[in-house]
Amino acid sequence: MTAPLQFGLDTFGDVTKDATGSMLAHAQVIRNVVDEAVLADELGLDFIGLGEHHRSDFAISSPETVLAAAAARTKHIHLGSAVTVLSSDDPIRVFQRFATLDALSNGRAEVILGRGSFTESFPLFGFDLRKYEELFEEKLDLFAALLPQQPVSWEGKLRPPLRNQLVYPPVENGRLKTWIGVGGSPQSVVRAAHYDLPLMLAIIGGDPARFAPFVDLYHRAFKEFGRPAQPIGVHSPGYVAETDAQAREELWPRYKAMRDRIGKERGWPPMGRDEFVNEAEHGSLYVGSPETVARKIAKTAKALGISRFQLKYSAGPLPHEKLMTSIELYGRKVVPLVREMME
């Protein structure tokens, strides 16, 4: 019997506006994110993930710190990153921070490791962007060596070796749950299977079913390694309101502002309304009424055989109050509807 589908939320801590239309201070956004995590816990959701960024439009640069505050105010929800940019961090310090979070939350910590789609952390922390792949591969290898919580002897090219070294604090019960976040690289899929780690697919555009070959590759890799496959999750953006029309009208100008801001940095053309509608109707934007969003999540879950769906509920300067309403509808209406559809 397969385990029931888990439901999560993700946010990058997008800097939002107040009732007068003024941008909130980063500090207030961070406090609002903790309140959003508390609401998610009260609604019985399984997970909330906070992204790591180092730029003006996203408030969270230290997810573990914000998650620790949420841990003190929640009881059941699992708390993790979405993602931790391992390439520009120290694997031992990442493990220690999440082991500490695990202690504070009584075993509810998770970490999603990735390379990240933004590169601001590389110059900020003094890493060579030309070693983007090499940094992630070596640091993931070291992080994986820490997970059994035994004395570690390890050697790489980018840092001094470890000789029979223990890392503290240990995770109290079992093993720190660690996912690999993947945006569409076959090598990353196989790498996750190699290290026996669950896979989190970041599907932020296009038909989710196009990721089916990555799911097949993941299962084939586990078969070749002679191990049962680990869970697969999906992270995608979305927004829930009472009706489809309301959800689209409230999200559209904010989503376009975020998309165009990032697109200008990357050489993308401005987003048109037709592209937005196409993503809402056929792509990976889960925007609409509870019934519409539920149908779309259920379709993705069945197509990819996933164990968890994580809705990135923040997208541009949507007011905190609107985000709270969207979370409420997701937890109270979308989740029960998806469960019915999955039976």
pLDDT tens for each residue of 163-203: 999 999 999 999 999 999 999 899 999 999 999 999 999 99
Q: Is the pLDDT score of 41 beyond 60?
A: yes
What does the pLDDT read at residue 163? 98
Q: Is residue 72 part of a domain?
A: yes
Residue range 100-109: average pLDDT?
98
What does the pLDDT read at residue 19? 78
The rounded percent of the chain whose pLDDT value lies above 70 is 99
Q: Is the pLDDT score of 2 beyond 70?
A: no
Region for 305 from its dihedrals, namely left if φ exceeds 0, alpha if ψ lies in -120 to 50, beta otherwise: left
Looking at residue 139, its amino acid is K
Q: Is the pLDDT score of 1 beyond 80?
A: no
CB atoms within 10 A of CB 249: 11
Q: Is the pLDDT score of 293 beyond 70?
A: yes
**97-101, 110-114, 188-192, 313-317, range with the lowest pLDDT:** 313-317
pLDDT tens for each residue of 259-282: 999 999 999 999 999 999 999 999
Give the three-class secondary structure for 180.
strand
Q: Is residue 1 part of a domain?
A: no
pLDDT tens for each residue of 206-217: 999 999 999 999
N-terminal to C-terminal alpha carbon distance within the chain: 12
Residue range 63-72: average pLDDT?
98
Q: Is the pLDDT score of 332 beyond 80?
A: yes
Find out whether 39 and 324 touch, Cβ atoms under 8 Å.
yes
Q: Is residue 290 part of a domain?
A: yes
pLDDT tens for each residue of 3-23: 799 999 999 999 998 878 889
Q: Is the pLDDT score of 119 beyond 50?
A: yes
Per-residue confidence band for 98, with pLDDT thresholds at 50, 70 and 90: very high
Residue range 284-311: average pLDDT?
98
Domain assignment of residue 116, given as a range: 6-342
The CATH code of the domain that includes 64 is 3.20.20.30
The number of folded domains in the chain is 1
Per-residue confidence band for 117, with pLDDT thresholds at 50, 70 and 90: confident
Select from 111, 23, 25, 24 the least CA-distant residue to 67.
111
Tell me the average pLDDT of the chain: 96
Select from 171, 7, 182, 30 the least CA-distant residue to 96.
171
pTM of the predicted structure, to 2 decimals: 0.96
Residue range 220-237: average pLDDT?
98
Torsions phi, psi of 149, nearest 5?
Answer: 60, 45
What does the pLDDT read at residue 315? 86
Q: Is the pLDDT score of 68 beyond 90?
A: yes
Residue range 299-308: average pLDDT?
98
